[in-house]
Amino acid sequence: MPPGVAVSQILQLLSQPQVVQALAALGLGSAGRESVELFDVPLESVAVLGYLNELTEAALIELEGEGRW
């Protein structure tokens, strides 16, 4: 993956209101929404958090490869 790709994907994801909705839903526990539609794909709210986790790990690997982590 070229440098900065994962960070760019994280920024794109965080700019989506559905991501904020999913994270807020997780914070609300059972009172929150179980799923959101992100980029026309229905996802469980917890899956959005998992995707952010994967992108964060990829970004750290990119930065480590550049000697920045």
Q: Where are the domains of the chain?
A: 5-65
State pLDDT tens for residues 24-38. Answer: 999 999 898 899 999
Q: What pLDDT band is residue 3 in, cutting at 50, 70 and 90?
A: low
- Residue 64 CB: number of other CB atoms within 10 A? 10
Tokens of 12: 């794109």
pLDDT digits (tens, 9 = 90+) for 47-69: 999 999 999 999 999 988 888 87
pTM of the model: 0.80
Give the DSSP letter string of 31-46.
GS-SEEEETTEEEEHH
Confidence check: pLDDT of 5 > 80 = yes
Q: In this predicted structure, what is the pLDDT of residue 33?
A: 86
